[in-house]
Chain A
């Protein structure tokens, strides 16, 4: 990763809290701190992986960056434009450049629209094309994602999960975006189909010089597709590093545990590996632990230090960020 690479997306101390209401008067009694202050950059042309377990806020982070949720605090600067403070119409224009691919290919396509309408809709909404031109563009897009262009008059239910995900990708590509947030795009698919979709995403990235943010819980897939990886736990980033650095020298105890929990498809290696098994479950983001959020499950937590202050997310070596009191 060259240092002089252009920063495409700059996220600073981004927060998204969902209020909890209770009682007759629906007073706010608390908040689910789904995303609670995350800071990172995404460089032009790279893939940034965002991993974490369910409920850690990774999907909320993706949606908040896209302004699908209004951020509680913080800033999101894309290509020099502050997305949090621009007007709705300007944001609509920006959405051409930032697109999203969703997890569930069954729920994210309108069952009453044909594939042609689904893929062509963004072109129409943004007045990028009309009439015959849309048809031509749709055929072209379907071809790019390796679907037969003649499928454009069919409906989503006629397709398998992998094919539907390709339709979602074609739709995301329609406006020629420069940045795509992929929110668990393969976790609903079978293993052999996952590889097809990941290969397609990689081909498209090269062809169109796309920048990806790839959100997933599958660490081995994230390591495969990403240039840099950010690890999230309970609403905060705990570590961010280059893909190889994170794998070979994870510094945060959570990253270490997460890596060691991923099974390797090789029985001989598996026999030799020793696992860090974490105790307990992820605490509720409505009531996170004081100090470091990981301390309740951390094997090296120190009372009087980790339970008092939240560790700062700091750069320990160039490009390697970590939030842990115990890391020098």
Chain B
């Protein structure tokens, strides 16, 4: 049994806005094992990014605040850690890549300078060592003429290349966990295929643990071993990837899978659509957050919020209804 690397318990995060307090994450617990690739899936506003940002202490405060929970990494609670110590974990042991490679790089510094910075800061290399290592890293992520291109500025790189630079930067200190927040959403499909291929290769070569946040169930099917589905700031389903696609058990997961057209679809069928829209959480939901859009909804769903319960080995669902029978669990 591989060791649990990151263990998050009861995480809650809120944002103060002019319209009221938004309850973005409402008690999320999960763990990540060493060497595992975890997919976190959900639509905009479901709390998937905020969960990861909270764990890393990257929520801007104010307006955001982590109000409850623990996040153990190598036995230490990241949420209680002093800022300075957390800064060393971030970057050196856990690193993160973001959706938009255009805004994540500093436009007035060369690519080389930005790649060398964490090497000097976290690993104590000198300028020469850092520069050599930076070239190696660029080569590793597949950028040709790496040595010369270190002198270039971000605008001289294309979107796909910038995302490669972000990955190179994230991997520069050989982190134990790589958190990727929709890293391919802004990219074209052929470039997306290049990037997912690259991450898979690096993961297998250096045995890195990956948490991949996305709204794209196709990408998750290709990459992840285990998946969390989030809705309304809760994890509503958690399962090994194959089981999730073969036996989706939460009405939301079923709807999400059904609403995707498939490139291999033979006949044109009407897409299954989930009516209504995702909630904005000005109050912490006391009942099932999906109830207003659910077609299996029962009385109990309007009274109590279901907890995650196991339906088959390692497959857990937060729903009062057994969708196979349409009756209560």
A221–B190 CA distance with the chains assembled, in angstroms: 16
A-side contacts of B274, CB under 8 Å: 192, 195-196
Known: A191-B259, A193-B277. A219 touches B189 (CB 8 A): yes
Q: Is the CB of A275 within 8 A of B197?
A: yes
A265 touches B278 (CB 8 A): no
The answer to whether B273 and A261 have CB atoms under 8 Å apart is no
> Which of B64-72, B102-110, B216-224 touches A?
B216-224
* CB-based nearest B residue for A219: B263
> In the complex the two chains form, is B262's CB within 8 Å of A264's CB?
yes
Shortest Cβ distance from residue B277 to the other chain A in the assembled complex, whole angstroms: 5
Q: How many residues of B contact A (CB 8 A)?
A: 47
Roughly how many angstroms separate A262 CA and B192 CA in the complex, as a whole number? 9
Q: Are B218 and A195 in contact (CB under 8 A)?
A: no
| Chain B residues in 8 Å Cβ range of A193 | 277
- CB contacts (< 8 Å) of A89 on chain B: these are none
Question: Contacts A217-B188, A220-B263, A281-B191 given: A265-B221 contact, CB under 8 Å?
Answer: yes
Counting contact residues on chain A (CB < 8 A from B), the size range is: 35 or more
Q: Chain A at the B interface: mostly helix, strand, loop or mixed?
A: helix
Indicate if the CB atoms of A192 and B259 lie closer than 8 Å. yes
Whether the Cβ atoms of B262 and A265 lie closer than 8 Å is yes
Q: Which residues of B contact A313 (CB under 8 A)?
A: none
B265 interface residue per 8 A CB criterion: yes
Q: Which of A54, A217, A224 contacts B268 (CB 8 A)?
A: A224
Contact A265 B270 (CB under 8 A): no
Interface residues of B in 244-265 (CB under 8 A from A): 245-246, 255-265
Contacts of A268 in B (CB 8 A): 242, 245-246
- CB distance A278 to B190 under 8 Å? yes
Enumerate chain B interface residues (CB-CB to A < 8 A).
43-44, 158, 160-161, 188-194, 196-197, 215-222, 241-242, 245-246, 255-266, 268, 270-275, 277-278
Offer 27 A-B interface pairs, CB within 8 angstroms, sorted by A: A160-B277, A162-B277, A190-B215, A191-B256, A192-B277, A195-B260, A195-B273, A195-B274, A196-B275, A199-B273, A217-B188, A217-B189, A219-B189, A220-B262, A224-B261, A247-B264, A261-B190, A261-B192, A263-B196, A263-B216, A263-B218, A265-B217, A265-B221, A265-B262, A266-B245, A268-B242, A277-B194
